[in-house]
Amino acid sequence: MRVIMLSWEYPPKIVGGIARHVYDLAGALVAQGVKVNVITCEHPAAPAEEVENGVSISRVSPAGTGNDFIHWVQLLNDAMYTRADKLLSELDPSEPILLHAHDWLAHYATNGLKHKYRLPMLSTIHATENGRNNGIHTPTQGYINHVEWELQAASWRVIVCTQFMRLECQRALGTPLDKMDIIYNGVDPKKFKIKFPASERAEFRSRYARPNEKIIFFVGRMVREKGVQVLLEALPKIRWFYNDSKLVICGGGYRDHLVEQAKTLGVDQSVYFAGFVPDEDLLKMYHIADVACFPSLYEPFGIVALEAMASKTPVVVSEAGGLPEVVEHGVTGTTTYTGNANSLADGILSVLQDPRKARQMADTAYERVRNVFNWDHIAQQTIDSYSRVWEEYLASDFNMRST
C-alpha cells in the first residue's frame, strides 16, 4: 500500500501542530510497511526532494506570494497538485494508492488528484475555522469554513483526533458521525529522554529564572485561543500565594498586547517572553519546568500537553476541547475551568504546593503516553482506516481499475 500525503507544513517548516503530526505519522507508517510520499511546501533549510526515515518528501514552491493568504494557499495547492500528478503518472497503476489530505489547506490539490486518477481520498481535520473563532464572522472565515465542508464531503473517511473533534465536525461541518474515525495524536517518549547533566541544566535554567524560582511554562502561538491572556491574569494570585514563581512563555507571533497586559497587572518582572525556541531548547524547557500550563480556549487535542507528559513534567490544562481526553484530572494532571483565571491559578498552585502528588501524576501520565499515545498503535489504527477505505473503494463504482 502507498499513501500520498499532502500537507502545507512539514519539518523544518513548522507553523502549528500539523507538521509534527504528519512527520511522526509518516515515519510510523513506513515502519509498518506502508510506502509514504509527502507533498508539502518548500523551506529554505530543506531540499526539494529527499528521503528521510524511509519517507519520500517533495517540497514545492508556489508561483509567487499571492495577493493574500488565501491566494497563496491556492498557489501552493497548484504546485502540490503538479508534483503529485507527476508522481502518480510514474507509479504502478496496479499498486494500492490512497490520497490523504491534512486540513483544508491541502484540499483542492488532493481533490483534483482524486478525480483525475479515480483514487480514494481521506482527510484528517485537525481543527475547524468555526471552533478557532467561536463562530464564522468574516468573509475569509466563511471561505475557509466552506473549504473545510468541501474537504469532509469529498473524503471517503475523515480522521479526527478526539471525540470532541468528532462532535465539532458534525456540528460545524455536518460530517456524519459514522464517517469519522477517532485516532489520537501521539509522541515518541524516547525523543524526550535527553542528555541533560546537572551543570548544563543549571546553566540553561539560569537564562530564564533564579535558582529559587519555580518555572511555570507555556509554549504555543500567541493567539487568543491558546489562552495566554488567561494565564497572565492568573499570575497575580499565583504569586500572592507562591511568590517564588516565574512564568516563561515560548512561541512566535504578535505579543505586544500580552507584554502590555503583564505590565498592567504588575507582573511583568515575573514573566519571560522567550519567543520562538528551536526544538533542542524546547526539549530542555520541558525538563526545567516545574509545571507546564496550557489554558486553551479552543483545543482539538493539545499535543503540547502530551509532550509535557512525555517529559514527566506536571501539567495543568483547561477543560477546553479535547484536553480532558488527554489529561485525566487528578490522575495524569490537573484540569481547570476554561477561560477562568481563578480556577487556573488554583490548579497551578496545587502543583507548586504539593510537588509529591504532582510527581505521582506526572509518572502516571508518562505511562499513559507509553501505552495509549504511542505511534505504533496510532499507525496501526490509521492503516485499519486505509484498509477499510481501500476495500470499500474496490467494491464501488468509483473504482476504475480491475479487481
Res. 386: pLDDT tops 90: yes
Q: pTM, whole model, 2 decimals?
A: 0.87
Q: Within this chain, do residues 126 and 222 fall inside the same structural domain, yes or no?
A: no
Distance CA 184, CA 323 (A): 11
Same domain, yes or no: 176 and 295: no
Average pLDDT over residues 295-299: 93
For 216-224, what is the mean pLDDT? Answer: 93
CATH number of the domain at 365, please. 3.40.50.2000
Shared domain for 311 and 361, answered yes or no, is yes
Number of alpha carbons in the 13 Å side-chain half-sphere of residue 367: 8
Q: Does 348 share its domain with 217?
A: yes
Which one-letter amino acid corresponds to residue 393?
Y
pLDDT for residue 252: 85
Residue 278, domain extent: 189-371
Residues near 201 by beta carbon (within 8 Å), at least 6 away in sequence = 284, 287, 288
Measuring CA to CA, which residue among 309, 28, 324 is closest to residue 162?
324
For residue 402, tell me if it sits in a domain: no
400, part of any domain: no
Here the cell at position 106 is: 491541502
HEC readout, 278-313: CHHHHHHHHHHCCEEEECCCCCCCCHHHHHHHHCCC
Query: What is the model's pLDDT at position 403?
Result: 45
At 218, the pLDDT band (50, 70, 90 cuts) reads: very high
| Residue at 296 is within a domain | yes
Sheet holding 214-219, edge to edge: 271-275, 245-250, 214-219, 291-294, 315-318, 334-336
Same domain flag for 386 and 328: no
What value does the mean pLDDT take over residues 249-257? 91
Distance of alpha carbon 120 from alpha carbon 392, whole angstroms: 9
**Count: domains in the chain:** 2
Cell of 250: 515560548
Q: What is the DSSP letter of 179?
A: G
Q: What is the DSSP string of 351-371?
A: HHH-HHHHHHHHHHHHHHHHH
138-141, long-range: CB < 8 A, 24+ apart? 140/70
